[in-house]
Amino acid sequence: MKGKPSTNLAMARISWALSERSRQVLSDFTRNGRAQVGGLLSLTFVLVAVFAPLIAPYAANFSDFDEILQNPSSEFPLGTDELGRDQLSRVILATRVSMQAGVMATLVAIVVAIPLGLLAGYHGGWLDRVIMRLVDVALAFPFLIMAVLMAAVFGPSLLNATFAIGLSQVPYVVRILRAETLSIAQEEYVASARISGVSTARILSRHVLPNLMNTVVVQATIIIPSAIIAEAILSFLGLGVQPPTPSWGVMLSSSQGLIIQAPWLVWAPGLAIAAATISFNLFGDALRDVLDPKMGRR
Amino acid sequence: MLRFGLRRLSESLVALFLSSLVVFAAAQAMPGDAAQTIAGFEGADPATLQAIRDRYGLDAPVHVQYIRWIALALQGDLGNSLRTDASVLGLIAQTLPITIQLAVMSLAFATFIGLPLGAIAAYYRGRWPDYVANIFATLGLAVPNFWLGLMLILIVAVTLDWLPASGYVPPSDSITGNLERMILPTVVLGTGFSAAIMRQLRSTMIEALGSDYVRTARAKGLTEISVVIRHAMRNSLVAVVTVMGLQLGLLISGAVVTEQIFVLPGFGRLIVDAVFNRDYPVITGVVLVVASAYLLINLIIDLLYRVLDPRVRLEQGEA
Amino acid sequence: MTKSVLEVEDLVIRFEGRDRTLQVVDGISFVVDDGEIVAVVGESGCGKSVTTMASVNLLPRNAEVHATAIRIGGREVYPFDRKTLQQVRGKSVGFVFQEPLRALNPAMRVGRQLQEVTTRHLGLSRLQGVQRSIKYLDLVDIPNPEQVARMYPHELSGGMRQRVTIAIAIICDPLLLIADEPTTALDVTIQAGILETLRRLRKTTQLSMLLVSHDLGVVADIADRVLVMYAGRIVESAPVDKLFASPAHPYTQALLKAMPTRKLKRLIEIPGSVPMFDRSQTACAFASRCVRSTDKCTTSPPALAEFAVCHKVACFHPGPDAVANGQRDSGLHTILTSSQ
């Protein structure tokens, strides 16, 4: 490896520490009961989302007007809705939307927050102040309001909703990453790298960023379940997924008026949302416990 | 304390200013020609449109428009609804009290349930009360509140017929009527909150109960109740306030959803209807108000920190 | 016969871990008499801190305490019951812990932390309690006590904080003050001041003290009698001058030899941090590290027995060091210092 000896030593130390730790983390994790349950369930949801079109017995929009509002039966395990569509299929297909929302919102949040947090924490000074003011502004707009704005300007859609959700998480992630960067930046190996004349970009990408990964993963585990619920809320209100695309939130919204005639239309999507959220929460809890019980506390 | 307060205030004002810029920019970006909108939905001839533009200064450069807009807003003029022509401010004034009542009741509910549960869970950590409380918290946080609302309506209102399913009665008309209709919404909105509070308190209190100063308190011979409440819990409240602050965003979305389900003519419904109807002045006005309120509440919370924990310094508030 | 302030008979302390139970204190007995300062010394992990805290059951939940008897001021406190303990703590026994910043409630003013003890045990009103607090802050040599009473712990220096904890411990005029490493977390210069304050308190108030320390310098400075503990057992007990002049147990001798060149500054407390070797009940705990050990030492545990007047040792081969005085027993020294 080319480079000054001190940086090489530092790099070697970090990569050794990281791999040693990763092994420990992995073994701790797979033995944890909550991790097993949460991980399994989360994986199930992801798989259902990926293979949804293959699993669902009917297409999302296949309407049979002879079968409107049927009770759950062997033909339609979760009944049908007011347009004669099979609920089971729609619930399955809606999993895609939720998983998409979860992943994309997290990506948006992380992609935006990492550079901001790094710069704010590492550079300090005026850049830090500017970024923190931006964070304050973002904090003034809770995800719903942001989604409202985006829907008003660009029209409601899943993409816009996801964006709004992701952006609304940015302030929290930035704050945490900034604090982490600050403490990492004070470590000796960073100081020695700086003195040796290593460029800022290299320091950030080689020394600081790998150490932030732990925190980033932890934050991701917090964001995903929140995003799932947030998407459901936004779709419920008409600010996200637009009918006829199936989404648990949309399904709940249309079931509202039919609650007396067809209560089963309310059960399924709600349970799905709750189950997905619990699974990812469990998984995230377990991951957090293993990585560091105190890390990433908001 | 005063210096801290002033500094925080100035930060909030800067953020407020920037936020208003964002809202203004969004408002400009919203579809529809403003002049056309004002003229009405029938196509007006170019001369009329131009007259409107002159009258409202719509041709003026952007920053002038912004200043006008802000000036009007500060005077309370947020424009008029496109649909009903009612003043936006008036609409807000009409709907906000309902939402505030809901929010306050939910917060009270959440606190009265969340705090004791959290303390019990922390104290009996690892034993059955903790286990039960944790299940409650997990469910409370994972179950989407709009689903909970629908289920409660199904069970309590429809099947058991104990409470009305929806609608709103102002307290001036009938206090019982008002409360009857607010109970379910309060439970729906407050449950998630109470779960978050309970979780945070439990976690912080477990730490506190294991701390050296609690050991000192016990070594002083103080009764367990004194130790738990006056020492452990008091010191854990800061964290709970933090969580409450973080949950505010969910409180707003929760209120919106709750009002939607229970048909309460509150602020939340105002927002949703405005988006549905593409009522841009209402949207803009509402967003501006919410953002400002948010900043204000965050400021209050930060000041509250300072009161609760004398160790907090300005740097900590930023870190 | 002078009354004993603290009597402990056959104290056994066990900690329940995840997979197994560790016996940390192996059945020790000792006494603190009225007006005396007894120091308990030993390496980190020998059980000295838990011994003192066990007397009023201040140990964490996973600890099991058994004893034939524990008496404070003649009053039986074992088997433990909550009410008795809550009456005794703070009133008959005062505690001073190691880290004063962590031992004080960070969000409560100093005066209040003092006053609540008086309200609890002496029934004083808030006002009376505060007045008494100020008086005791003065007693522990804190300047401007009225001002300090209104301050928060983090606003005070380390030495002041420790004085505050001492004031809290003595504010109800207890029989016994138990201090667990009271000076370890402080600078050497502050240390002297604290010790001076403790000495003065003993003189003026007839306060008895049970002091835990791994710092022999502190012990030499202030103690009347010393108990040396090793691996959960008392291996030597003697008046302080006798202990330093003619230590009888090989471990004590090794400790003393290690003293002049190095300040033993380990602060780790059991359980959980120091790896616990399995404590065999059938041998002398020190045998594996002792130059004098013979077969007898590895097959039966020595009991604490009279060696000289007021001087007890638990050893099969007690007595002055066989090695010439000037020469350091390098083997032992290395073993001991490497274990730090």
Binary contact (B249, A142; C-beta < 8 A): yes
Residue with more model confidence, B86 or A28: B86
**A227 touches A277 (CB < 8 A):** no
B309–chain C Cβ distance below 8 A for any pair = yes
Binary contact (A156, B291; C-beta < 8 A): no
Q: Which of B142, B150, B292 sits opposite A259 (nearest CB)?
A: B150
Mind telling me how many Å the CA of B242 is from chain C's nearest CA? 17
A139–chain B Cβ distance below 8 A for any pair = yes
DSSP annotation string for C45-100:
TSSHHHHHHHTTT-S-TTEEEE-SEEEETTEE--S--HHHHHHHBTTTEEEE-S-H
Query: ipTM greater than 0.90, yes or no?
Result: no
> In the A/B pair of chains, how many CB contacts fall below 8 A?
141
Binary contact (A270, B143; C-beta < 8 A): yes
The pTM (predicted TM-score) of the whole model is: 0.78
B and A touch with 3+ CB pairs <8 Å, answer: yes
Binary contact (B216, C104; C-beta < 8 A): yes
The CATH architecture assigned to C4-223 reads 3-Layer(aba) Sandwich (3.40)
Q: What is the mean pLDDT of chain A?
A: 82
A130–chain B Cβ distance below 8 A for any pair = no
Nearest to C94 by CA among C182, C177, C14, C151: C177
Window from A74-78, A175-179, B91-95 with minimum mean pLDDT: A74-78
Residue pLDDT, tens place only, C110-120: 999 999 999 99
Q: Which of B218, B235, B309 sits opposite C58 (nearest CB)?
A: B218
B230–chain C Cβ distance below 8 A for any pair = yes
Binary contact (B275, A298; C-beta < 8 A): no
Mind telling me how many Å the CA of C82 is from chain B's nearest CA? 9
Binary contact (C60, B210; C-beta < 8 A): yes
> In the B/C pair of chains, how many CB contacts fall below 8 A?
77
Gap between the Cα atoms of A219 and A226, Å rounded: 11
Which SS3 state, helix, strand or coil, does residue B306 take? helix
The ranges assigned to domains in chain C are 4-223, 247-313
**Two tokens at B212?**
């050296």
**Chain A residues 193-232 with CB within 8 Å of chain B:** 225, 229-230, 232
Residue with more model confidence, B41 or A169: A169
The letter for the amino acid at C30 is: F
Q: Give C-chain residues touching B212 at CB under 8 angstroms.
A: 97, 99, 102-103
**B10 touches B16 (CB < 8 A):** no
**pLDDT recorded at residue B38:** 62
CA distance to B262, B293, C269, C325, per residue, from B249 (Å) = 20, 12, 44, 75
Q: Which of C90, C106, C152 sits opposite B219 (nearest CB)?
A: C90
Binary contact (B216, C90; C-beta < 8 A): no
**pLDDT recorded at residue A170:** 93
Window from A18-22, B20-24, C255-259 with minimum mean pLDDT: A18-22
Average pLDDT over residues C67-82: 91
In chain B, what are the helix, strand and coil shares in percent, each to the nearest 5? 80, 0, 20
First to last CA, chain B: 18
Q: Give A-chain residues touching B29 at CB under 8 angstroms.
A: 153
**C82 touches C90 (CB < 8 A):** no
Residue pLDDT, tens place only, C217-233: 889 889 999 999 988 88
**Two tokens at C223?**
């103690």
Which helix (H) or strand (E) segment is C236 a member of?
Answer: strand C233-239
In chain A, what are the helix, strand and coil shares in percent, each to the nearest 5? 75, 0, 20
Mind telling me how many Å the CA of B202 is from chain A's nearest CA? 14
Binary contact (B154, A274; C-beta < 8 A): no
**A89 touches A78 (CB < 8 A):** no
Mind telling me how many Å the CA of B103 is from chain C's nearest CA? 30
**pLDDT recorded at residue C67:** 92
Q: List the Cα angle C25/C30/C33 in 5-degree steps.
A: 145
**pLDDT recorded at residue C53:** 92
Q: What is the mean pLDDT of chain C?
A: 83
Q: List the Cα angle A141/A142/A145 in 5-degree steps.
A: 75
**pLDDT recorded at residue C208:** 93
Window from A60-64, A173-177, A242-246, C127-131 with minimum mean pLDDT: A60-64
Binary contact (C107, B235; C-beta < 8 A): yes
Residue in this structure with the two tokens 């083997």, named with its chain if needed: C331
**pLDDT recorded at residue A22:** 66
Gap between the Cα atoms of B79 and B278, Å rounded: 15
Alpha helices in chain C (DSSP H): 48-54, 82-88, 100-103, 110-122, 126-139, 145-149, 158-170, 188-205, 216-222, 240-245, 250-258, 295-299, 330-338
Alpha helices in B57-174 (DSSP H): 62-75, 88-123, 128-142, 145-152
Sign of the alpha-carbon torsion through C239, C241, C244, C246: negative
Residue A80: strand pairing partners: A86
Q: Which of C86, C103, C165 sits opposite B221 (nearest CB)?
A: C86
Binary contact (C107, B234; C-beta < 8 A): yes
**A69 touches A57 (CB < 8 A):** no
DSSP annotation string for A124-149:
-HHHHHHHHHHHHHHHTS-HHHHHHH
List Cβ neighbours of A96 (8 Å cut-off, separation of 6 or more): A49, A52
Q: Which of A140, A281, A282 sits opposite B19 (nearest CB)?
A: A140
B224–chain C Cβ distance below 8 A for any pair = yes
Mind telling me how many Å the CA of C54 is from chain B's nearest CA? 11
Gap between the Cα atoms of C63 and C271, Å rounded: 10
**pLDDT recorded at residue A17:** 61
Gap between the Cα atoms of A282 and A153, Å rounded: 37
Rg (CA), chain C: 20
> What superfamily would CATH give domain A22-295?
MetI-like (1.10.3720.10)
Gap between the Cα atoms of A137 and A149, Å rounded: 14
**pLDDT recorded at residue C174:** 93
**pLDDT recorded at residue B115:** 93
The ranges assigned to domains in chain A are 22-295
Q: List the Cα angle B65/B67/B71 in 5-degree steps.
A: 120
Binary contact (B256, A278; C-beta < 8 A): no
Residue in this structure with the two tokens 């209040």, named with its chain if needed: C112
**Two tokens at A298?**
């908001």
Binary contact (B294, A230; C-beta < 8 A): no
Mind telling me how many Å the CA of A137 is from chain B's nearest CA? 5
Render each residue's pLDDT in chain B as its tens digit; 319 residues: 677 778 888 888 888 888 888 888 888 887 766 666 666 655 567 777 777 777 666 777 778 888 888 888 888 777 777 777 788 888 888 898 999 999 999 999 999 999 999 999 999 988 899 999 999 888 888 788 888 888 888 888 777 777 777 778 787 778 888 888 888 899 999 998 999 999 899 989 998 998 999 999 999 999 999 999 999 998 888 888 888 877 877 888 889 989 988 888 988 888 888 888 888 888 888 888 888 888 888 888 878 777 766 665 433 433 3
**pLDDT recorded at residue C239:** 93
Average pLDDT over residues A117-137: 86
Which SS3 state, helix, strand or coil, does residue C16 take? strand
CB-side neighbour CA atoms (13 Å) of C15:
17
CA distance to C42, C43, C227, C267, C305, per residue, from C340 (Å) = 12, 8, 20, 10, 29
Q: Which of C87, C102, C104 sits opposite B221 (nearest CB)?
A: C87
**Two tokens at C21?**
């139970």
Residue pLDDT, tens place only, A227-275: 998 999 999 988 888 878 889 999 888 888 887 788 888 888 888 998 9
Mind telling me how many Å the CA of B227 is from chain A's nearest CA? 24
The letter for the amino acid at B81 is: S
Gap between the Cα atoms of A65 and A83, Å rounded: 6
Q: Give A-chain residues touching B158 at CB under 8 angstroms.
A: 259-260
In terms of DSSP bridges, do strands C63-66 and C225-230 run parallel, antiparallel, or are they unpaired? unpaired
Residue in this structure with the two tokens 């009103």, named with its chain if needed: C125
Q: Give A-chain residues touching B141 at CB under 8 angstroms.
A: 277, 281
Q: Which of C94, C99, C152 sits opposite B212 (nearest CB)?
A: C99
Average pLDDT over residues C180-194: 87
Using CB atoms, which chains have 3+ pairs under 8 A with C?
Answer: B
Residue pLDDT, tens place only, B40-65: 655 567 777 777 777 666 777 778 88
Average pLDDT over residues A156-162: 90
**Chain A residues 68-127 with CB within 8 Å of chain B:** none
C and A touch with 3+ CB pairs <8 Å, answer: no
Mind telling me how many Å the CA of C124 is from chain B's nearest CA? 14
Residue with more model confidence, C57 or A39: C57
Gap between the Cα atoms of A184 and A206, Å rounded: 12
Mind telling me how many Å the CA of B5 is from chain C's nearest CA? 20
Q: Give B-chain residues touching A252 at CB under 8 angstroms.
A: 146-147, 150
A294–chain B Cβ distance below 8 A for any pair = no
Gap between the Cα atoms of C171 and C188, Å rounded: 26
Asked whether residue C333 carries a pLDDT value surpassing 50, the answer given is no
Q: Which of B216, B223, B311 sits opposite C86 (nearest CB)?
A: B223
Task: Tell how far CA A1 is from the center of its chain.
Answer: 36
Q: Which of A141, A237, A277 sits opposite B256 (nearest CB)?
A: A237
**pLDDT recorded at residue C151:** 92
Residue with more model confidence, A286 or B96: B96
Q: Give A-chain residues touching B276 at CB under 8 angstroms.
A: 238
Q: Give B-chain residues touching A294 at CB under 8 angstroms.
A: none
